[in-house]
Amino acid sequence: MIAAISHLARLARAGFVFAREGVLAIAEPAPLPAPARAALKIARLIERPTGDSARHRLSTALTRLGPTYVKLGQFLATRPDVVGVALARDLETLQDKLPPFPQAEAEATIEAALGKSLTEIYASLGPAVAAASIAQVHRAELDTPEGRKAVAVKVLRPGIERRFRVDLDAFTFAARRAESMSAEARRLRLMEVVATLRRSVWIEMDLRLEAAALSEMAENTKADAGFRVPAVDWDRTAKDVLTLEWIDGTPLNDRAALEAKGFDLPQLARAVIQSFLRHALRDGFFHADMHPGNLFVDADGRLVAVDFGIMGRLGPKERRFLAEILYGFITRNYKRTAEVHFEAGYVPPHHSVEGFAQAIRAIGEPIHNRKAEDISMAKLLTLLFEVTGLFDMKTRPELLMLQKTMVVVEGVARSLDPKLDMWTVSEPVVREWVERHLGPAGRIEDAAGSAAGFLAGVPSLMSRGAVLVEQLDAVTRDGLVLAPETVAAIGAAEARRNRWTAVALWAIAALLAWIVLTSG
174 and 293 housed in the same domain = no
467 occurs within a structural domain: no
227 and 253 housed in the same domain = no
Residue 63 confidence (pLDDT): 79
How many whole angstroms separate alpha carbon 417 and alpha carbon 61? 35
Q: Catalytic annotation on 235?
A: no
How many whole angstroms separate alpha carbon 310 and alpha carbon 200? 7
Residue 452 confidence (pLDDT): 52
How many whole angstroms separate alpha carbon 233 and alpha carbon 26? 47
- Number of structural domains the chain divides into: 4
221 and 347 housed in the same domain = no
Choosing from 438, 470, 490, the residue where a domain stops is 438
Tell me if 355 sits within 8 A of 54, measured CB to CB.
no
Alpha helices in 21-79 (DSSP H): 34-43, 54-65, 67-76
Choosing from 198, 213, 246, the residue where a domain stops is 246
Count CA within 13 A, CB hemisphere, residue 516.
Answer: 6
DSSP 428-442: HHHHHHHHHHHSHHH
473 occurs within a structural domain: no
CA distance to 21, 161, 317, 410, 445, per residue, from 110 (Å): 38, 16, 42, 37, 48
How many whole angstroms separate alpha carbon 171 and alpha carbon 169? 5
Looking at residue 232, the DSSP 8-state letter turns out to be: B
How many whole angstroms separate alpha carbon 280 and alpha carbon 313? 8
79 and 123 housed in the same domain = no
How many whole angstroms separate alpha carbon 336 and alpha carbon 352? 13
Containing domain of residue 292, as a range?
249-438
463 occurs within a structural domain: no
40 and 65 housed in the same domain = yes
Residue 76 confidence (pLDDT): 74
DSSP 252-289: TT-HHHHHHTT--HHHHHHHHHHHHHHIIIIISEEES-
242 and 263 housed in the same domain = no
287 occurs within a structural domain: yes
Residue 345 confidence (pLDDT): 79
How many whole angstroms separate alpha carbon 274 and alpha carbon 286? 12
88 and 110 housed in the same domain = no
Tell me if 295 sits within 8 A of 251, measured CB to CB.
yes
Tell me if 239 sits within 8 A of 207, measured CB to CB.
yes
pTM: 0.72
254 and 383 housed in the same domain = yes
196 and 332 housed in the same domain = no
111 and 54 housed in the same domain = no
Q: Which residues pair with residue 250 across a beta bridge?
A: 297
Alpha helices in 182-264 (DSSP H): 183-188, 190-204, 207-220, 255-260
Check 81, 289, 307, 417 and give the catalytic one.
289
431 and 293 housed in the same domain = yes
462 occurs within a structural domain: no
215 and 103 housed in the same domain = yes
Q: What is the pLDDT along the chain (520 residues), one digit of tens a residue?
A: 677 777 777 778 777 777 777 777 666 666 666 766 777 777 776 777 765 555 567 777 887 888 888 888 877 776 666 666 667 766 766 666 788 999 999 999 999 999 999 999 999 999 999 888 889 999 999 998 888 999 999 999 998 888 888 888 888 888 888 888 777 677 767 888 888 888 888 888 899 999 999 999 999 999 998 899 999 999 999 999 999 999 989 999 889 999 999 999 999 999 999 999 999 999 999 998 888 888 999 988 999 999 998 888 988 888 888 888 878 887 888 888 888 888 877 788 888 889 888 988 888 888 776 766 677 777 777 777 777 667 777 666 677 778 778 878 888 898 899 888 887 888 888 888 888 887 655 555 454 544 555 455 666 666 676 666 666 666 556 555 555 665 566 566 556 555 555 555 555 655 555 555 555 5
> What value, to the nearest 5°, has the Cα angle with vertex 307 and ends 305 and 311?
90
> What value, to the nearest 5°, has the Cα angle with vertex 243 and ends 97 and 298?
75
447 occurs within a structural domain: no
464 occurs within a structural domain: no
445 occurs within a structural domain: no
